[in-house]
Structure formats: C-alpha cells, structure tokens
Amino acid sequence: MSLFTSARASAISLRLTGLAAGVAIVAGCAAPVPPAAPVAPGGGQAPAPDAVVRLLDPSGREAGRAALADTAQGLDVRVQVSGIAPGAHGFHVHANASCEPGPDPQTGQTVNFGGAGGHFDPGLSRNHGRPGEHHGSAHAGELPNIDVAADGRGALAWMHPHLTVKPGPRSVMGRALVVHAQPDDYESDPAGNSGARILCGLIEPAAPGPVAGRAILEGSNVFPEGIARDGRSGDVFTGSSSEGHIYRVKAGAQAQLLQAGGSPGRQGAFGMKLDGQGRLWVAGGPGGVVSVIDPVSGATLGQTLPPKGLHVFLNDIAIAPDGAAYVTDSFHPVLWRVSTAPGAPMAMEPWLDLRGTPIRYLPNQINLNGIVVSRDGRMLLAVQLSTGQLWRIDPATRGVTQVRVEGGPLTGGDGLLLGERNQLVLLRNATNEVVQLQLSDDWSAARELRRITDPRLRYPTTAAWGEGGRLIVVNGQLDRQKSPPPVLPFDLVTIDLAR
C-alpha cells in the first residue's frame, strides 16, 4: 500500500501504519459517569461520524470501534468493545498519533501502546481529573470508564464539551484512543491508576481520503523538512530541520541514521536532492552550509558556504543536467550556484542578484523557497513563500519573469515537485494543502488543476514521487516548534493522487 513496510524499531525508526477508511458505526448506550461530568447523550440516532477508530489489542486483533462526531454541544464519542475482561475500564484520548510500544510514563519501561504518550492535555494543566472538566484545569483527554458485561462486551456514549475533530489546539484528529485494564479513579496522577493499556486505535477521518499510508519518524524534536527518493533503489531520505540529522529508509527495512547533525557544521537539514551520480545534496538553512553526502556510507563528500557576514537561509536545491546546483536563499536576495568540477573544490557563487530582477524580497519573511529545473536545464522555477508568486528564471540569460497563474492563492508555497508533462506539485505549508498545477510548455503560465487537503496533513513542506505515481509528503509541523507542541510522532504521508 505504500513505499514502506511495517517495522518496529527503537530510538530512530520509520514505520508504516495503514490508514483506515470508513467503517460501520454502531451507536453505543450511555454508561454511568462521575456525577461532576456532563450528561451522556440520550438514545436516538447517532450523528454521522466525522472520525472513526479501530481499537486493536497488542496482537493486532480488532476488539472495538469508535465513532466521533462534532455537534453543537461538543464532541459525541461512541464506542463498542468486545472480548475483554468484565468490569470497568479506563478510557482516554492520548496525545500522540501512535499505537506502537513505548515507554511507560511512570516506570520508563517499554509497554504495549506506550507510543500513544500521556493523556491529551491541550491546556497544559498537567493534572489528571474527571471527564468533562475544563481543559485548563485537567486533561481534556479524560473520558468515562467503559463498563464491560460478563460476555466481554461494553459500550459507551458520551458528549465531551471541550474536544473537537476540527483543526485547532483541542482537536483529537490523528491522536489515539486507549482502553486500560482497570477503571480510572479520576484522582491519581498521571493516569487514574487505570493499569495496563489493552486496546489502542488512531482517530482518523471517517470519509475516505487521499492519504494511502503513513511512515513514522520517532523523536520529539525532529521537525522534518526536506525529502529525496532514489528511484533506482527506492531509498528515501529526510532530515531534521532542528537537529541536522539525515535519515535513510530502505524499502521494507528499518530506517537508519545516515549522518548526525553537525557533520560537519550542519545544524539543520532543509531541501534535499539526489544528483545524476546518486549523491545527496542538503541545504543547511540558516547555518548557510550546502553538503554533499554519500547516500550509502553517510560520508561527507564536500561542502561549501557563502561568504561570511551574510544573513542567509539556504532553503532548497535544484540540480541541473550539467551537474550545477541552484540554491534558493530565503533571506538574502541571491540565487546561489554551486559547481563541482572534476578535481576542483566545491564553490558557491552568487549567481543571480535578485535585486536587479522583478522579485522583491519582503523583510523578515521567508522569500524564495522551493525550486525546480526543467529536464533539459533551460528553465528554473521558484516559489516566493511570502507572496505566493511563481518565478521563471532563464539560466542562459538570467532573465526573471513572473508566471501567470490561473487559480487560487499560492501564499505559503514551500516545496515544489516537477512531474510528467509539465505538471507541478506545490506544497502550501500553513494551509495544509497540496496544489497540482499545469505549466505551459514555456513555463510562462500555470493553471490550477486540483487542491488536496486532509486532516493528516500537518504543515507539509516538501514531497517526492513514490511508487505508482504517489506522493510522499513531509509533515514538517514547523509551526509547532514553540507552542503548541507537535503531534508526535513526526511522519511522512503517502498521497494517492488517483483518489
């Protein structure tokens, strides 16, 4: 279903998780709740679900399903479980988008579904409480216990006044629902003394969408940005914008740390490209370094820097057929060019001073960002993130003209990806959109074909072509580097453009 096969790994890993389409939903019956909690929804027809969950036990057996729907009163949560021990079972929304094994928050030992993290706490209350309490004073992820009868079946219907599946800080979309072995006492920190995690499932859109798969990148400070894929081997490379690490994942295998950040002098990893010799080029962002890496050994083959004293942000790279690399600078109004002549050191030149072109850099903004080159090397195309303008650049004359765009806004345009027959993919990070455009033969004009959005897109930055014409999109979450915190784990999602 995707480029990657499932793999369980430790500190640094990529793992594929299938993404659920719609499932049949059955309305649950109301279960007893603590007196302080709001009244659970009464009988009658359950609302059409906006999100669904398949609850699995540690062996992968499905043991329950849940449906969530936004209403005027709050988030309607309905769940049914089967095949678990009779009695009351703690039930919570957990913070992370993972049901993998992970550390128990109390003991630090690896436990089933530990990857789901702690209870969802958007108000940063750091306080275990009762279902329905205001999210500023208790975990918003608290839900009533599920009462399970002697036959192993249980059901719950509950209206949570402070949660939603719509985008926003209190959205539970993409997070995890967890059922515990023991009842929640609604008092003990951090989890109500509710015992082991016995069922877990990801909260995903009810309607089938374009996302066909997901690859997980572990680590709480990764903030991935760039991506490159080797079409011959199938290897995929991505990097950490905050730490500078470069990761490689082979098809059907566990991901590996290819090169650690700071090797040498690279503190961040942004745009990436593979050249005709199979070498991996990496733009270093505000650190100002461009590195060339052996994608097999991880050795640095070369690096270069712009002149000292400039306030630069080397953001993306395009490799021309002659081997020259064109590098966008989001802060300094220059298009850099790097050449690697045989026997000569890498050299970075200020190839085009943009102050003498129609491009106008906005102060304190991200300006030129994604860049692509035509297959014959006769045209470059770059997007200016701050304005949404597309710019065509002629390498022969260094002339710059604005591309006429028929369609909606392209502000927030980040990565660009060139497809067959002059089709262009543009990632709008802040609006969580993938935009498909059709370029004219001379790249002087572009026409919008389609906009793709999905709740599982989280500040998408760049993309690469995967198998069968699918897109592998980096969810950078660069808007969550300070507050609110990122949705963990970080991931890449595979988008089926045929859906």
pLDDT digits (tens, 9 = 90+) for 30-66: 333 333 333 344 445 789 999 999 999 999 999 999 9
289 versus 36: which is more confidently predicted? 289
Instruction: At 215, list the tokens.
Output: 């690859």
pLDDT computed for residue 226 by the predictor: 98
2 versus 250: which is more confidently predicted? 250
Question: In the predicted model, is pLDDT for residue 1 greater than 50?
Answer: no
Q: What is the pTM of this model?
A: 0.84
pLDDT computed for residue 44 by the predictor: 56
Sequence-separated (6 or more) residues with CB below 8 Å from residue 46: 25, 26, 27, 67, 69, 76, 78, 157
CA distance 86 to 195: 15
Q: Which residues pair with 91 in a beta bridge?
A: 143, 179
Residue 190, Cβ density class (10 Å: 0-12 exposed, 13-18 middle, ≥19 buried)? middle
Question: In the predicted model, is pLDDT for residue 397 greater than 50?
Answer: yes
pLDDT computed for residue 262 by the predictor: 86
Question: In the predicted model, is pLDDT for residue 12 greater than 70?
Answer: no
CA-closest candidate to residue 377, choices 337, 323, 414: 323
What are the pLDDT digits (tens) for 119-147? 999 988 888 889 988 988 889 999 999 99
For range 17-24, the mean pLDDT: 28
What are the pLDDT digits (tens) for 400-452? 999 999 999 999 999 999 999 999 999 999 999 999 999 999 999 999 999 99
For range 148-165, the mean pLDDT: 96
186 versus 29: which is more confidently predicted? 186
CA-closest candidate to residue 222, choices 465, 12, 9: 12
CA distance 14 to 474: 13
What are the pLDDT digits (tens) for 339-352? 877 777 888 999 99
Share of the chain above pLDDT 90, in %: 73
